[in-house]
Structures are given as C-alpha cells and as structure tokens.
Chain A
Amino acid sequence: MTDSSVNNPDGRARLLKLPSVFLILPSLFLSALVIGYPIFDVLRMSISDVNRYGHVRGFAGVDNFLKIFNDPIFLQATNQTLIWTFCVVGGTLLISVPIAIILNGNFFGRSVARTILLLPWAVSMAMTAVVWKFVVNGDFGMLNHTLETFGLIDTKIPWLADATFAFAIEILVGILVSMPFTVTILMGGLSAIPDSLYEASSIDGASHWQKFINITLPLLRPFLQISVVLNVIYVFNSFPIIWIMTRGGPANKTDILITYVYKQAFAFGRIGNAAAGSVMMFAILLGFSLLFLFITRSPKETL
C-alpha cells in the first residue's frame, strides 16, 4: 500500500496531483533555464566555428577539440588537474577520517573544537586564497617570518614564484577548505554506528586498531564514498584558489582545466576552445562517475 492511498482514501490523491506539480514547476523551470540552457549552449559552441564575440559562423565538427588537443598547455593543464584532484581529495580524506573520529568522541570543549574545525567552510575560498597569498608572500609574508624565527630557513623564499612550491601550497589550501564538508559527512556516518558494536568487540578483546578496521571503516564506507564523489566534483571544478594565488602561473605550471578554460574564454577570446575544454571537463567527470559506480557496485556482493 502506498503512502497516498493511506492519507487520501477517497480519491483526494488524484485531486492533489495537479497542484503538487505546480509546487515543483517553478524550481524546475529556474534550473532548466539557468543550468540547462548553458549546458546546451556550451555543447553547441564546442562544435561550432565561433568568433571572439561569440557569433556562430558555422558548423566546425571536431575542429575545436583538435585545436585543444594540439595545445601543449591544454595537455599540461589536464595532467595538472589530475594531480590537483588526486592530491586534494586524497589529502582531505586522510586528515578528515581521524578528525571526524576525534570529534565524534566525548571530550571537554568538543563543540569549540568542532566550531574551529568547520570554520574554513564559512570563509569564501576567494578570501582564503587572498590571505594565503599574503601569508606566503616572499618579502612580507608571515610564513617566511615564522620559519625564520624558528631558524628553519636563512633567506626568504618567494614561494609563489616557484611552480612546485606554488602548486604544493595551493593543494594544501585546497585540502584545508575541503576538510570541513568532508568531516561533517563523516561525523554523520560515525554517529550512526551503534555503541553496542564497539562494546561487544571489547568483550571479545579487540584492539582499537581492529575495531577501526573491522567496524568503523566498513560502516563508514557509504559516507566515504559520497564524500569522494562530491569532493572529486568540487575539487576538479575548483577555481578561486588557483586563480587568485597564481592565475595558473608561473609558465602555466599551476593551470588546471578550469583556469585554462577561463583564460581561453575571457582573456584570449577563443570561445570555441573554451567550450571544447568545458565539454572535455564534463566528459572526464562523467567518466569518473561511471567508473566509480562500477568499482563500488561490484565488491558489495562479497561483503
């Protein structure tokens, strides 16, 4: 028996169907306009010959895609996007699991600790990027100053002028801003694990590590999976940190696909290239989602 037949025994359900659709339509309409139409437009641009003012001059087939595949900076940016996404998502998970476990425990000042740990979420990524850009400033930044105070470096390092340092710092900032959301999801998962499981395993003499491996991790798995999926999407598409700190420089060494696309569209006026780049990003994310579904589905039977 369905919900509606219980609540509406005399056919009221049928009468209510019309208005309930009208409750949903406005929201559906807005997102179809603002999200649906641009998707269509980007797809259309990617296979069109477009001038820098966005006028379509004709059908271009796969020309735009060939152009970006022949652009070494696009290939470099793709490679750097994979490194960026892997490092930020991996790093976020590595620190979020222990943080969530600690915050899930009972200790004095837990709500204060939780507020501090979730604080980076409240700050816009743009502002976080601005402050870190200053913190790692070669001449007047507090990072060099602090390292000097502790005698760890002799001369000031211009961190963002060096591609390797700059990318590493951006990855660390990326981990920092992705952590609160991930911790939040994992804390939800941990609070759903009944204490009785841990108590029973204590009676059986299980160590903390054994409990973690045999109880916590398996029961946390759906929450880990959802945080991997959402983080990959967010991080892959993340724009402000890299844009504000280095604009993809020096020498495009910190460019990721989204900063590449942005420059193609709004700095160089290569609309076709930008659209093709956006479509490639969609394709990669779609591929990831399908692969992830495939990987996480199959082992379920063995558990």
Chain B
Amino acid sequence: MIGKPLRTLISWLLLLPIIIVILFPFAVMLSTALKRKDEVFTFTLTWFPKEIYFGNFAELFLELGFGRAIFNSLYISLGATLVSLALALPAAYALSRLPIRGKGFFTGYLLITQMISPIVLILGLFRMFAALGLINSHNALIIGHSAFFMAFAVWMLKSYFDTVPKDLEEAAWMDGASRLRAFGAIFLPICIPGIAVTSIFTFVNSWNEYAMSLTMLRDADMQTAPVQVAFLTGTLYEIEWNLIMAGTLVTTIPVAIIFSGIQGYLVRGLSVGGVK
C-alpha cells in the first residue's frame, strides 16, 4: 500500500487537468468583470487587469437595471422553493411513514416526471400558461418550477425521513400526542437539516433554470438574471463582454457558494436514493 502523502500527490496531479478546465471559466469571469472595457477589447490580452475596476458592476445595476433581474430571480426561486416544499413535505412523509395503497405507482410516477425535461414540453407549457393568462407572469414560473423540481424534493426528503428512527414518534404517540403534534414537535425538528438541503437544492435549480424562463417571460424587465445575461450575448451590436462577465459573476458566485455548502449532503442523499 502506498502512503497517504504519495497518494495525495498522485491524486492531485491526476485531477489537475480537469481542475484547470473547471476553474478556467471562473478565472475568465473574474478577470474580465474587473477590467475596463478598452482593456477587454484589445488584441494584447492579459489575465490581470491593469487596475481593479468595479465600474462594470455599477453600470450593470444602474444603467442596465440588473437589480430588477436579480429581484425577479429571487422572487421566482423563493416562491418555487416554498410551493414545492409545501407539497413535497406531506408527500414524502406519507411515503416514508404511512401505509398507502399505490405507493409503488406514485413513486414510479414521480420517477417518470423526473425524466421529462420541461424543454420537451415547452410548446405545451407555453400554450397552457397562455390559456391561463400567465404569460409574462412570474407566478407561472413558480408553478412550473415547483412541478418539475417537486419529484426530486420528494425523493430527497423521503430518503432523509427514512433515516429517522420511527421509535421517536411512536414514543410521543404513547404519551398521548396526536400524529400531527408528534410530527410538528418531534419529527420536523429532527428533519430540519434534510429539509434545508432540499430547499437549497430546489432554490438553486430554480435560480439556474433557463428554457422555461426564456419562453414564458416575454418582456425584458420581467426576465430572470440568467436569461438576461444570456440575452446580452446575442442582441447588442457590440457585445459588451465586460458587463456580461460582471453579470455572470453576480448570478453565479453567491449560488455556487451556497451550493458548495450542501454538496456533501447531496452526495449522500442522491447516491442512497439513486439506486434503491
């Protein structure tokens, strides 16, 4: 067996190429967002800006109204997280704890919805929301996102609930607590970490979703942050990459940091749930 120091060296060396490819775009994002415009559009490029320049962020928020896009994204992602959680929590609890006829059918159905991507149905979704008068409505996206991300939330919550011993609730019933009280006072507090991870994951998925937002929100000032940034790459006569990279940075970094915090839980939850 080889020692841990040698193993460390070999592991990092083997991972190095892919790590470079992963971090390359982040470096480009950061370097370009902090450069003045004339420094981006030159044929003698450098990695480091001559001076750290924050004007791109000011222009992004003050002149392009990017704050509005961030607000739109926050509203949709928070709404989708709340709705999907409100529906997934009872369903996951029922699947994990209660005897239900057709349990297998329900989990199978959820698995199938999980496999249908919103983009394949985009035409049907657009027509449905149009008929409901919900085109250009953020609420349409809350409904759409929570429906498509709910299966995953149920799945993750159920696999978390399954790890909580039944004895705890049963003890509370013995003491005369109702099922609801036992659920609220005993079960829910234990499950807070699992619920938190599921919520964050739903939030991040909704924040990052592109195709549905692109299609349902027709007006520029209604669009979400990722859609607006992507829009800038295709419409301006002169593509202002310095502003676009500032936009990707603002849209990406906070979410990436939040995600890094829960990634360990995802590895556990997904791999346990994934093959069962």
Contact = CB atoms under 8 A, between A and B. Distances in A.
Contacts of A30: 87, 143, 146-147, 150
Main secondary structure of the interface of A (DSSP, over half): helix
A116 B21 CA distance: 11
Interface stretch (B52-60, B61-69, B108-116, B186-194): B108-116
Contacts of B245: 131, 134
Contacts of A132: 25
Contact of B272 (A28, A124, A188, A275): A188
B117 A54 contact: no
A281 interface: yes
Contacts of B252: 122-124, 127
B18 A95 contact: yes
B176 interface: no
A162 to B, nearest CB: 19
Contact of A262 (B28, B31, B122, B248): B122
Given A23-B91, A102-B11, A129-B230, A184 B25 contact: no
Given A23-B94, A26-B90, A37-B128, A244 B22 contact: no
Contacts of A98: 14
Nearest to A185: B274
B98 A23 contact: yes
Interface stretch (A61-69, A74-82, A136-144, A294-302): A136-144
A119 B124 contact: no
B124 A27 contact: no
The interface centre, meaning the residue of B101, B117, B264 with most chain A CB atoms within 10 A of its CB, is: B117
Interface in A231-256: 233-234, 237, 239-240, 243-244, 247
Contacts of B7: 105-107
Q: Tell me the interface secondary structure of chain B in the complex.
A: helix
Interface in B210-251: 210-211, 215, 226-227, 229-230, 233-234, 241, 244-245, 248, 251
26 contacts: A4-B99, A23-B93, A24-B94, A26-B91, A35-B148, A40-B124, A54-B127, A107-B8, A109-B12, A116-B19, A117-B15, A122-B258, A123-B255, A127-B226, A127-B248, A131-B248, A140-B41, A142-B45, A179-B18, A184-B267, A188-B272, A188-B274, A189-B271, A240-B211, A258-B120, A262-B122
Contact of A123 (B124, B150, B208): B208
A266 interface: yes
B157 to A, nearest CB: 11
A110 B263 CA distance: 13
Interface in B77-94: 86-88, 90-91, 93-94
Given A27-B150, A41-B128, A285-B115, 18 more contacts: A20-B94, A24-B90, A34-B125, A35-B148, A45-B123, A102-B14, A107-B4, A107-B12, A113-B12, A115-B260, A118-B263, A123-B256, A126-B229, A140-B241, A142-B28, A258-B119, A265-B123, A266-B215
Interface of B: 4-5, 7-8, 11-12, 14-15, 18-19, 21-26, 28-29, 31-32, 40-43, 45, 47, 86-88, 90-91, 93-95, 98-101, 106, 109-110, 113, 115-117, 119-128, 130, 143-144, 146-148, 150-151, 154, 166, 170, 179, 204, 207-211, 215, 226-227, 229-230, 233-234, 241, 244-245, 248, 251-252, 255-256, 258-260, 263-264, 266-268, 270-272, 274-275
Contacts of B94: 20, 23-24
A54 B182 CA distance: 51
Interface in A133-161: 133-135, 137, 139-140, 142, 145
B208 A125 contact: yes
A95 B14 CA distance: 11
Contacts of B99: 2-4, 8, 13, 16-17, 20
B274 A223 contact: yes
A113 B15 contact: yes
Given A2-B99, A119-B256, A128-B25, A184 B226 contact: no
Interface of A: 2-4, 7-8, 13, 16-17, 20-21, 23-24, 26-28, 30-31, 33-35, 37-42, 45, 54, 95, 98-99, 102, 105-111, 113-135, 137, 139-140, 142, 145, 176, 179, 184-185, 187-189, 191-192, 222-223, 226, 230, 233-234, 237, 239-240, 243-244, 247, 258, 261-262, 265-266, 271, 274-275, 278, 281-282, 285
Contacts of B47: 142
A221 B274 CA distance: 13
A274 B119 CA distance: 12
